[in-house]
Amino acid sequence: MLLVKLLAFVGAAISINTPKEDTLTFIEKFVNISEESKNYGAGELNKLVDDAYLRYNMSNKEIIRLSSLTFAYNILYFTKNKGAAFVPKSLFRVGVINVLKKGGLKKRKIGNEYIIIQVEGCIIKEITEEMLVNYFKGYLKQLIGGFTFEFLGIHYQISENLINEIYLRDGHNIFNKNCLRNLPVHEEPILKDTKNEMYFFFKNGLVTLSVDGIKKEDWQEKKGFCIWADQVIQHDFNWIEDFSESYFYKFLCNVTDNDDDRKLSMYTAIGYLLHHYFKESEGQAVLFYDQTITDITAPMGGSGKGLIFNAIKCVRNVTKIDGKLLDYNSRFKWELITPSTQVVWIDDVRPDFDFAMLHSNLTDGWTVERKYKPQFYVAPKDSPKPGLCSNSILKGGGSTNKRRQFPIELSDYYSKQIKIGTEQPIEKEHGCIFFSAAWSEKEWNMFYCVMMECGRSYLQHGLKAHNGINVELNRFRQTTDPDFASWVVEQNFEKLERYETKKYYSEYTNIYYGDSLKLSQRKFTSYLKAFSIYKSWTFNITPSNGISYFLFH
């Protein structure tokens, strides 16, 4: 008898939209004065009320009266039929947006466009339309039993199958650009490097690097910022003073021939790429080359250039682009770049790569067009820094290109161990695969300390250039011909001496081409000019009495 009375109280409370807490208080008062209730525990009473509210899934606050003929409940829009009842017609857009908002879905402005993101605390990540739809599908799966509620004296029970059917029929009207623009705007500033500090987001804290050293603090101690999810380093960090036993430190020593000046140049180049901060006075791309004299028709590689970028990838968000497949004329050539990209790694670029295509990116930012996604623009202050790996010297000399390039040459310490092409000299030398799960916690921390030292070196010295070893010689050989490069050195040309063009053209072609006319005199003259650039000389053609002479000075 008591249970019937209690259910009556609960049912009455639900029908008039009484809060659950008030209903519970009222029933407890009733129970206390009832002789029948002495053996009915408070825990059982709480369970009864909770079960009833959960079962009916009812809160009239969720019912939105839109007109005399329509109302909305949760994510459904109802219209009145010919009788007295209402029927679910479509998805309720405001309800759907509210569901997305509760899941942390917002929009964020990148350049002049908005992208959809998901926010969790201070962590944000870009969400594709497909990911957003999957999130909503996950919400629908939670609606076990559908909706049960009462409105204007009529009991409604909407099954989960009917809700899914309405979603499948009407979802395209919701998940589109016009509707999703009603998501709230996320404007929390992204914490990014400053002129004098770099930030690294580890699992166990935020590490701030400056010339003076490093400090680590809890993320919670810095308020009013956000960071991209894929910029969080999925390791803990603890400083180790002596990192000389680090595999990566030894690797850097090997590829710089243990030369202090070369090592400093390498450190500052890596530190420059780590520093996610734009200086108008720099705006350079770091180019990693092999030190060895290379044959453009059969470049060797294997010096460890890619390993450097994989190291950077462990602490910064790196987008890798295959240089061999890069279509320079495609408007989607940068589509892999995301708003959170900090370094663009163009790997193994072709010999015909025209560096001039990067000039505007280095000074004016990046315009990224993506298939089936919104285009966005990254302003210079937020731009990723480009680094290139190449087995041949990039074409395109001139002061503009050189001013925008910071070349680093890697020694042949590892590549000279490659004889048949199947060797793994780095793995053999160090006895491990770099950046693998086999690394101990200490090894990872020593590696991070080396990277911090690279960052500190850059903050202290800026980009510290080293006199090239074979870059200019390789560039000269690759822009002319290896045979010509060998021949011209043997001529011992001197400055301010006049040489007859036709005579030397004939001598060269007779030796290397015979009677073939594959090399024109015009081409031969361009080779001589390239030689003068390699020597840092000036080249002139001076005609006299109908005879052409060339002169270096």
- The residue-averaged pLDDT of 495-523 equals 89
DSSP string, 175-228: SSHHHHTTSPBP-PPB----SS-EEEEETTEEEEEETTEEEEE-GGGS-S-BEE
| Dist. CA 292–CA 308, nearest whole Å | 18
461, burial (CB in 10 Å: exposed 0-12, middle 13-18, buried 19+): middle
CB 349 within 8 A of CB 312: no
**pLDDT for the residue numbered 179:** 86
| Dist. CA 64–CA 68, nearest whole Å | 11
What digits encode the pLDDT tens for the residues 309-353? 999 999 999 999 999 999 888 999 999 999 999 999 999 988 788
CB 199 within 8 A of CB 116: no
DSSP 383: P
Helices assigned H by DSSP within 288-390? 305-313, 359-364
**pLDDT for the residue numbered 113:** 85
What digits encode the pLDDT tens for the residues 87-113? 999 999 999 999 999 999 999 998 888
**pLDDT for the residue numbered 397:** 61
CB 109 within 8 A of CB 185: yes
Residue 455 confidence (pLDDT) above 70: yes
Using only C-alpha atoms, the chain has a radius of gyration, in whole angstroms, of 35
CB 123 within 8 A of CB 136: no
Res. 265 pLDDT band, cuts 50 70 90: very high
- Sheet arrangement for strand 213-217: 213-217, 205-210, 198-202, 232-233
Tell me the residue type at 484: F
CB 279 within 8 A of CB 459: no
What digits encode the pLDDT tens for the residues 11-23? 545 444 455 555 5
High-pLDDT (> 70) share of the chain, %: 86
**CA separation (Å) from 302 to 184, 255, 292, 336, 520?**
50, 11, 11, 26, 36
Residue (of 513, 523, 510) closest to 479 by Cα position: 523
20: Cα within 13 Å, side-chain hemisphere: 15
| Dist. CA 238–CA 248, nearest whole Å | 17
Residue (of 217, 136, 415, 394) closest to 303 by Cα position: 415
| Dist. CA 236–CA 486, nearest whole Å | 54
